[in-house]
Amino acid sequence: MSAATPIDLADLYQVFERLDGGESIALVPSADGPELTDPPGEPEAWLGVTSSGSTGRPKLQWRRWREIRGGTVSKPGVMGWTWASPYRPWTFAGVQVAAQAWASNSAIITLGTDWAEAWASLAENSVDAVSATPTYLDLLLQEEPQEGIAWEPRQITLGGEPLRSAVGERLRRRFPNSNFTVIYAMAELGVLLKTRRVDGWYEVESLRHAADDWRVVDGGLEIKRGGKWHRTGDRVEVEGDLMRVIGRLDQVANVAGTKVSLLEVTELAEQVPGVRRAAAVAEPNPVTGEIVCLKYAVEPGWEGAVVLESLQRTLRERLRKEAWPRKWVEETVGPAQNAKRAVR
């Protein structure tokens, strides 16, 4: 028997107790939720989490509760910690963080995008562990009060999107004594890669613990579970024993019949001095079908006009003409609603 539960973070501990009692439960947001499906089977308990919905209506993905429960850490060193996260509680990432806090008899608080409020909450609650996307924490750093706040967590867990090395370096400089864990996970398949590196690369060995086999086909990662191959939809790069997740395979613009990689444009833009974050997106155009639009954020202390001139020169020198951005928007490039699928 499954129960659909419109959820917020404060309710999750009660849900976990029910799951421990053998009940299968589907977590759904209070509005615009996924189409409900029955859990795969009894007698074990299943937890239904909501997928991103990046290609349509969100889907319900059923996960074995014992697997989520088994992934939590209950060592004495983490017992009683205070955890913080901006993840939505009905998603796989939100459940992972809350389950860890619950298993370690800890409190958990919700973070928002009122940055002054978020900083105050982290300091006032003496938060020990924070779990968020790299972009969220990078924006938090960018909005740190000028007088500074004496707060440094014991644990920082990053996930939900690819980690750029520049962001990892900024986080490491600000939090030199924190323990970092970087996770690549999917609601459909669970945690696939985990590392303590903050340069965007994962040890391939960690993937071998999560999959029967893996391969890269046309730049896209596929993993094998139970004799069946699953496409993750992510573009990856492999160098020796290391792998990095670049972004989604479907991040492509069609400009006058030519396919343009938005990931390539984004990565090149973020290498330009003075660019803190960038996101290349496709916009409709009546003549060419689509054009490339580059949204970018400027590093504090840099002159916007100088950065734009450098961006335009660099991208036009190094990209083919179809990939040149035709629209340039300086703005705050923040956390996307669907972080995993986003290019920051």
Question: What pLDDT band is residue 337 in, cutting at 50, 70 and 90?
Answer: very low
Please give the C-alpha separations between residue 248 and each of 32, 110, 270, 326, 332, in angstroms, as whole numbers. 24, 28, 17, 22, 21
Please give the pLDDT value at position 257.
Answer: 84
Q: CA 340, CA 134: separation in Å to the nearest integer?
A: 11
Cβ atoms of 258 and 249 within 8 Å: the answer is no
Compute CA 167 distance to the chain's CA centroid, rounded to the nearest angstrom: 13
Question: What pLDDT band is residue 331 in, cutting at 50, 70 and 90?
Answer: confident
Question: What are φ and ψ of residue 200, in 5° steps?
Answer: 95, -5
Please tell me the least confidently modeled range out of 55-59, 234-238, 291-295: 55-59
Report whether pLDDT(341) > 70: no
Terminal alpha carbon distance of the chain: 40
Q: CA 289, CA 246: separation in Å to the nearest integer?
A: 26
Average pLDDT over residues 185-198: 89
Please give the pLDDT value at position 334.
Answer: 59
Cβ atoms of 260 and 295 within 8 Å: the answer is no
The predicted-structure confidence for 22-54, as pLDDT tens digits, reads as follows 999 988 887 666 778 888 877 889 999 887 655
Average pLDDT over residues 153-179: 93
Report whether pLDDT(70) > 50: yes
Q: CA 133, CA 135: separation in Å to the nearest integer?
A: 5
Report whether pLDDT(340) > 80: no
In the sheet that holds 82-85, the strands lie side by side as 107-110, 82-85, 129-132, 155-158, 179-186, 190-195
Could you give the count of Cα atoms lying within 13 Å of 47 in the half-sphere of its Cβ?
Answer: 28
CA dihedral 69, 133, 247, 175 (to 10 degrees): -110
Question: What pLDDT band is residue 342 in, cutting at 50, 70 and 90?
Answer: very low
The predicted-structure confidence for 226-248, as pLDDT tens digits, reads as follows 889 999 989 899 999 999 998 88
Q: CA 344, CA 331: separation in Å to the nearest integer?
A: 12
Question: What pLDDT band is residue 288 in, cutting at 50, 70 and 90?
Answer: confident
Please give the pLDDT value at position 117.
Answer: 92
Q: CA 7, CA 229: separation in Å to the nearest integer?
A: 33
Cβ atoms of 246 and 220 within 8 Å: the answer is no
**What is the domain class of 252-341 according to CATH?**
alpha beta
Return the number of other C-beta atoms located less than 10 Å from residue 217's C-beta. 9
- How does the average pLDDT of the chain come out, rounded? 87
Tokens of 216: 């890269």
Judging by beta carbons within 10 Å of its beta carbon (0-12, 13-18, 19+), is residue 210 exposed, middle or buried? middle
In this prediction the pTM is: 0.81
* Domain 2-199, second-level architecture: 3-Layer(aba) Sandwich (3.40)
Please give the pLDDT value at position 74.
Answer: 74
Question: What pLDDT band is residue 338 in, cutting at 50, 70 and 90?
Answer: very low
Cβ atoms of 54 and 32 within 8 Å: the answer is no
Tokens of 69: 């429960």
Question: Which residue spans of the chain are classified as CATH 3.30.300.30?
Answer: 252-341
Please give the C-alpha separations between residue 6 and each of 33, 66, 88, 95, 338, in angstroms, as whole numbers. 9, 22, 12, 14, 19
Helices marked H in the chain — which ranges?
12-20, 65-70, 92-103, 115-124, 134-142, 165-174, 204-208, 262-269, 304-318
